[in-house]
Amino acid sequence: MSLWIVAAQGLLAVGVLAAVAYPLVWREVEDAQPLGPSGDGGQAREDLLTQKHLAYEAIKELEFDRASGKLSEADYQAMHKEFEAEAIGVLKKLDALEGPEVSVPPPAPDACPSCGHVAKPDHDFCSGCGAKLR
């Protein structure tokens, strides 16, 4: 066997190994980094967002089960109240974690109501977003 063939097989084997190992190594590096700017607070927010998503999915599946006849109306109402209460609790925790809302000042009189871009008085459409001004 030629030395060139052995070298080519070795390079091919290294390439395949790198392609297989890359996602495994990269995932460990991603998981090691904090998810949010405050570290633990970011993780708590991510956990709450996951809980919110799961609660919404449970409500959707419950509605599908009722529509397909798998649940009686009484069972649906009882379970819906339970899932809805869980979703409301998660949303309240998210609101408390994110803090008070920041109020956005109203746009200037000559600004676009959609994007806030300052519009010239003779323009009918915003040059920033294309919204109709008049």
25 and 44 together in one domain: no
24 and 52 together in one domain: no
**Selected residue with higher pLDDT from 38 and 55:** 55
**Residue 128 included in any domain:** no
pLDDT in tens, 76-99: 899 899 989 998 998 888 888 876
- Contact, 88 vs 56, CB < 8 A? no
d(CA 45, CA 27): 20
- pLDDT value, residue 112: 78
Between the two ends of the chain, the Cα-to-Cα distance in Å is: 80
d(CA 11, CA 15): 6
44 and 81 together in one domain: yes
44 and 67 together in one domain: yes
pLDDT in tens, 67-82: 898 888 898 899 899 9
2 and 28 together in one domain: yes
52 and 26 together in one domain: no
Domain ranges, residue 48:
39-99
**Residue 65 included in any domain:** yes
**Residue 58 included in any domain:** yes
